[in-house]
Structure 1
Amino acid sequence: MKWWTWVLAFLLALGVAYLNRATVLGMIAHARLPHIAPNQPVTWAQGPTEPPPPGQRRPPNVVFILADDMGYNDITFNGGGVARGAVPTPNIDSIGHAGVDFVNGYAGNATCAPSRAAIMTGRYPTRFGFEFTPAPVAFEKMVGTEAEPNAIVQPKFFKDRLKDMPPGSTASTPTAVNTLSVPSTEITIAKLLQGQGYHTLHLGKWHLGGVKGSRPEDMGFDESLGFIAGASMYLPEHDPGVENSKQPWDPIDKFLWPNLPYQVQFNGGTMFAPKGYMTDYLTDQAVTAIHANRNRPFFMYYAPNAIHTPLQATKADFDALPQIKDHRLRVYAAMIRNLDRNVGRILAELKADGLDDNTLVIFTSDNGGAGYIGLPEINKPYRGWKSTFFEGGVHAPFFMRWPGQIQPGSRYQYPVGHIDIFATAAAAAGAPLPKDRTIDGVDLLPYLQGKQAGRPHQTLFWRSGQYKVVLDGDWKLQSSEAQHKVWLYNLAADPTERHELSGAEPARTKAMLALIAAQDAQSVKPLWPSLLQGPVFIDHPSGVPQRKGEEYIEWDN
């Protein structure tokens, strides 16, 4: 073969590899996945076999259920529901009906990890530098360099910032990302309740760090069963009992499928395969753990990865929804059907063990539904998606139920947030708040019980790099410094953010920018820099052609 033939073949191979770089990178990533042992039994520590003597006051249990990437319109509580109400969510809805619906409940952030950090600490994550969602460098590079087909706004990957990443975090190993973690000096609600004699349990997703000092078992949890990463497979891709949906336009989806293992760990031990569909398995274990602790006060943080991508449903749930014709929507709806059923199983176990009257149950989602799955109605009636601070990204379903303490059927109108879960759970358990740091959240119980009037918060803040937001009373200002753009809305008159008012309200805009600057002065430098900046269009999901003049924000991570 002549030399030029070899050169031509080499260049052709390079071209094919470049065009299929996501597939090539995926094959490399899959080869680097850690060894996963076969399924093994989990033995939860057993509490007392007998209940406390009659008349002895027992502190309430706290069960916190955190859905992942659930859109405001994914449940039927508000009259809508996924696939236009095709999938009722009676169990999730029942928490709101039997307790309080926080009508204006806000996530701690528009993405997974900072929102979870706000929940666990009761503090804005910018106070301790946990500003961005931990992600492998390969993920940041893929999302920061691969635009959607025919995109008019390109993402950016900041290669020059790699030198500023924490030591070890840029290594090409699956565990390198674990170094991006919440500082061990932060006090979680689990740690606080543990000090009150509570047995503390974590099941599911963690995403707050995986090095010593930042793992759940180091941050106040007596027992932890789940996974450290921000996502997981629900079943192996080719399992006969699974129905999959892939989004070919989405670089996040392209990264997740080859990179995610199907595994859990118990108390930091060996990684092993769950038994069955992940949400079902975690609930099986949650039910067992509740029963094991029925005779002592416990705090359970149940955080399944449902309904985060990859989109995987059981075939049984998928087959139960033949009326939904769109395949992707049907898979997504089947995942919601499964999640609601599993929430019902947890509530049923509390009742079976005689615990539901003495248990504070909290339900919410870490952020709004993701636009990158390509489904247009999941956050309806709000604009925006996960990663944006428009209402669709942060206005979350948020319920609390505590019989005898919270009036059934309550609707609380003033804005509250994930940051309030810490102080509310602490108050229910009789735990004093830490005095050595600012706690941004407040105990909501006095407001719900009519013992305290007025707003729990005059202001709420969000920040992701250069993208910053303040809610001041009923007015909300978003500032994208990268775009030199602001959006001002009066949510009392315009809750779905349709009428932008910064031009009509220059003095208010200036004053609210000053509020953001003052909050920035109380924040610390991020623990690591954002490596990517990408556009998220507000009024349509990904997979839809971008058009000039359409509204978008620049998301930093």
Structure 2
Amino acid sequence: MNSSTLISRISIFFFCYILVILSAFSQDKKPNIILIMADDLGVETINSYGGTSYSTPFIDAMAAQGAKFEYAFAQPLCTPSRVQLMTGQYNVRNYTVFGQLDRSQTTFANLLKEAGYKTAIAGKWQLGKEQDSPQHFGFDESCLWQHMLGATNKDGYDTRYSNPVLEINGVPKHFDGGQFSTDITSDFLIDFIEKNQDQPFFAYYPMIITHCPFVPTPDSKDWDPTSPGSPTYKGDPQYFGDMVAYMDKIVGKIITKVDELGLSEDTIIIFTGDNGTDQPVVSMYRGKEYPGGKKYTTENGTHVPLVVKWNNHIKPGTQSDDLIDFSDFLPTLMEVAGIKIPKEIPVDGVSFLPQLLGKKGKSRDWVYSWYSRNGDIENLKEFAFDKEFKLYGTGEFYNLQEDWLEETPLIYKDLDKEGKKAFKTLNKALDKYENIR
């Protein structure tokens, strides 16, 4: 063998070796995670779920290209939902008061960051006014509304939409150049994704939109870039449809960027809402009027969309009728990332990753809820439900198929065999959490 042949073979060997190393590195890279949660957006607002009042083409495309869950449920209000979502625990364990997440808690961002993920949050906070709150709970970067500051300025104008006041990594900034908060926060996350595309990242986007005040968006005919913000809390409900369309557009903007960066196979994108649509919005849903039910424990206060896209992992058009609640998100994200949840964290949720991947998974028999806006027992609503029946801790029992607004409680002695069986199952679910708090 001459020297040139030997050198050639050695070069080929090292080239192949490098390819093997790079391939192994690529396979070991954890998936990126993007979690998008619209504010005050019930299931009836999305076309692919049967809503016909608004336009949601990008979320509908997510459902067509990925998976859609028919029975996903949040808490009836923002802070209770966020606490449950971020910690994987029912509010009975760790909820304190509206607008706060107890600093002793561990969030999905804490766990992902400890496992090597770069993490960022943009949108609405409302979980503690300490300057370091987002970082304390695991986020490297943050761009937030209602972090340390309140919802209105000194003149009483709402600060969340046109020319907003946001806090970037704990530093307040008043945008006064005709900006719209949904553009700023989404751009912040896209910048974060671009900067961290070569390593695992977690981008959490609890959107400010579609919460009231209902106001024009930059796509509305009467958008006013000089507006100081709404002078009233509710605004004008006629703009709710514009806000839904803009929310959907921003979801599409994020998905498009992921595709442009070539990350669609490496990134799982999850979309949901934090609770039901606000009043006085009434939408058309599956041929009937459907009133917004935010803050109420009826279906229209808790039933939210859940759509997931992950190219070449989730079979397009996947649909699941399994029950899902917000405690299930943390264990799902941990399973996606290959992270073991520490034993000292009492997680109530169940991962729904198997269902996303076309497997049976561990389906729920019921969903439990401990709901009190300010954490007090006097105003507590505690209940458990399945797809057909719902039982409150106070004893009221409803058939959800026939009485979804819960207007006529059932009497136990009049129940058939199926109804009595459901009552006993749901009563056991309530008993499971009886002595926790």
The question of 1:388 aligning with 2:290 is answered no
Greater CA deviation, 391-400 or 271-280? 271-280
Per the alignment, residue 344 of structure 1 pairs with 252
Distance 1:366 1:449 in 2: 24
Q: Does 1:400 align with 2:308?
A: yes
CA distance in structure 1 between the aligned counterparts of 2:307 and 2:80, rounded to whole angstroms: 20
Q: Does 1:295 align with 2:184?
A: no
Contact 2:66 2:308 in 1 (8 A): yes
8 Å contact 1:317–1:338 — kept in the other structure?
no
- 5 Å-filtered alignment, 1:28-67, equals 53-54=22-23, 56=25, 57=27, 58-67=29-38
Letter in 2 for 1:59: K
Alignment match, 1:466: 380
Contact preservation (8 Å) 2:58, 2:248? yes
Aligned to 2:399: 489
Do structure 1's residue 69 and structure 2's residue 74 form an aligned pair? no
1:15-36 Cα distance to aligned partner (Å, 9 max, x none): xxxxxxxxxxxxxxxxxxxxxx
1:376 maps onto 2:273 in alignment:
no
Letter in 2 for 1:448: L
Deviation at 1:257, TM superposition (A): 5.2
**Does the aligned pair in 1 maintain the 2:122–2:205 contact within 8 Å?**
yes
Q: Does 1:101 align with 2:71?
A: no
2:15 is matched with: none
Aligned partner of 2:174 among 244, 247, 272: 272
**Superposition TM-score, scaled by structure 2 size:** 0.79
Alignment of 1:420-431 (within 5 A): 420-431=328-339
The 1:407–1:117 alpha-carbon spacing in structure 2 relative to 1, beyond 3 Å, is same
The aligned amino acid for 1:80 is G
2:220 corresponds to which residue?
317
Q: TM-score, normalised by structure 1?
A: 0.63
What is the rounded CA distance, in whole Å, between the counterparts of 1:498 and 1:96 in structure 2?
Answer: 33
Match of 1:442, SS state, is: coil
CA-based RMSD of the aligned residues comes to 3.1
Counterpart for residue 415 of structure 1: 323
Q: Residue in 2 aligned with 1:198?
A: 117
Query: Retained in 2: the 8 A contact 1:257–1:310?
Result: no
Greater Cα offset, 94-103 or 310-319: 310-319
Q: What's the CA shift for 1:459?
A: 4.0
| Structure 2 counterpart SS, 1:306 | coil
Name the residue aligned to 1:160.
none
Contact 1:66 1:302 in 2 (8 A): yes
Partner in structure 1 of residue 134 of structure 2: 216
- For structure 2, list consecutive stretches of 5 or more residues without a partner in the other structure: 1-20, 224-234, 373-378
Q: Which residue of 1 aligns with 2:271?
A: 363
1-side partners of 2:113 and 2:176: how far apart? 27
Answer yes or no: is the 8 Å Cα contact 1:69–1:366 preserved in 2: yes
User: Residues of 2 paired with 1:230 and 1:330: CA distance?
Assistant: 31
**Deviation of 1:280 (Å):** 1.4
Pair 1:435 & 2:343 matched: yes
Give the 3 Å change call, closer, same or farther, for CA 202–260 of structure 1 in structure 2. Answer: same
Distance 1:455 1:198 in 2: 29
- Equivalent-residue separation in structure 2 for 1:308 and 1:126 (angstroms): 26
- Secondary structure (helix, strand or coil) at the match of 2:63 reads helix
Aligned-residue sequence identity (percent) comes to 28
Aligned counterpart in structure 2 of residue 114 of structure 1, from 61, 80, 91: 80
Residue 447 of structure 1 deviates from its aligned partner by 3.1
Equivalence for 1:187: 106
The answer to whether structure 1 residue 228 and structure 2 residue 151 are counterparts is: no
Name stretches of at least 5 consecutive residues in structure 1 with no aligned partner: 1-51, 135-180, 238-255, 321-326, 525-557
**AA at the equivalent of 1:308:** H
Deviation string, structure 1 residues 304-332 (Cα, Å, up to 9, x no partner): 21010111222532459xxxxxx944311
Q: Tell me by how many angstroms 1:289 deviates.
A: 1.7
- Relative distance call for 1:398 and 1:502 in structure 2 (3 A) is farther
SS of the equivalent of 1:399 reads strand
CA contact (8 A) 2:284 2:290 kept: no
Aligned residues: 387
Q: CA deviation at 1:64?
A: 0.3
Quick check: 118-127 or 457-466, which moved more?
A: 457-466
- From the superposition, tell whether residues 123 and 454 of structure 1 become closer, same or farther in structure 2 (CA, over 3 Å): closer
Question: Are 2:91 and 1:125 aligned?
Answer: yes
Pairwise CA distance, 1:375: 2.0
